[in-house]
Structure 1
């Protein structure tokens, strides 16, 4: 049996990244993710890795770009305002077709907002984390163990498709402590054919570049990238369905909020209401088909978020009018309670007792 460790989410993230071959980390402190950088600063120098606290978030993401171009596994982490500052560099990484992993431990906003949990960066992560035509792989873990599991997946898929991957967590997951198991074996990064590590006279030089001054050349590279995205949509969607087979009403939630909703679903079942839960694990690619199929067999869906309503727009898009889609959310760093969610279920399911 694998050994279990009781760890804070942020520290488990850092340890999982190291065990998956990431020994190059560039960051800048911001609550509630600072423990990721603190953990890396203690461990990486002891194992021959690179830890560098950059002078800014902008500098940190550009250091990731440089390290990724050398073919190593590189990572940075931040919280919401810091991710905004990194957005230009993320676009450069995507435009250079380089893999990396970025962690966002979300906090309330806009502006400096607060340091409590939030999910108000959904649009930023899935629609507009940087300028231009590009996407990121976006993973939304719901437990500390799932964060550990998804770190390796994020690195593997980022390298497979040569694009950035984003782990979208929140302050609650980053700060809570849970028992975790780490994989006994980790994937070892292979030599990258695009790495700018010198030719040794055996090949043409590799060049890291996102600048294309000829419009037709830029269009061709963007279209090639989007053809890759279509493959990802076909093969890399991840979601969990809980008690949806016979459900009369289905809730949609991700991350830590999904844990609250799962409890509410169980409470609804105890009241005689057949409720179910769809939990997207990848926010991009989004589980479009699961939403479509669910919407075709129920009259009501409820999206629950720690925001004023962002993912609900995607749920409505893919439900495509087949059922009514409602929203319930708390914001400002307030976490919805199972009792509040249960009231919403009763409201739309007819109030069964």
Structure 2
């Protein structure tokens, strides 16, 4: 489910709140995505709505992604494949609409921010983390690829960390999200009610650019007034090592460096394990998506990813990956092929086919 609320501001204008609410860590269903898109259209044209706030219900998650179980059932019956197509189409368009929304969009990224949840978070103009935030794009573990625009925005992170995250499914904590550019502001999780009070009293104007600057100034000031006790950085001490491991333009060489890591950093050891367990086809597809995205506009990236996702629904490892991870939960996916060295480039090209 998703809930909408118009929160009255002190000057007679309103803040539009989108509350993601589902039993599976606020994961998005097609019905939720369609409702949000419909509401965005209403609020875009409502002069009394000056800004949006997106958050997740409860304390565990902002949003853990899409409803992958529903996609599995769509993949299991050819008569329902169109439902999977529709989900990806509307999910990607939702992120595009948030990315372009003419009014400030604030995302309260408390707890788990993964997959499609990170897509929404990344599309927001004002991204807020808390001490409990965990960000990840773990799609290679289910035979998909980092999507919802991630082929574009993961590459915007500082250094080569975005490349490592995409190729392994490794996680960011709040400190690293701030340090590498995945978020701009940090506030303690227990200050949300106080934040709302501050937002209600701000002198909103209804002018998008001016209100965006107003929100940035307020969130920066609150970050100083309400310092958030954040976890120690995982990736800053490893930035040079990540840069070295992920340097170059040869995927197999980079993957070999990742999987042969023998140092003492637990995060890099885990990255090697995650990649070794992921779909070889997905790893290659992730790499190719990122390469192509470098020469594309944001809209073109979204269209490319939709083609990729549509083809993942029909062939490749996606069905098997979801089965092993979420349906049977045996964590024993039968990837095809099983090794990176066995992936054929012609097969990767097929994921970009329009027919």
Question: Larger helix proportion, structure 1 or 2?
Answer: 2
Superposed pair shares fold, TM > 0.5: no
TM category (shorter chain) comes to: 0.3 to 0.5
Question: Larger strand proportion, structure 1 or 2?
Answer: 1
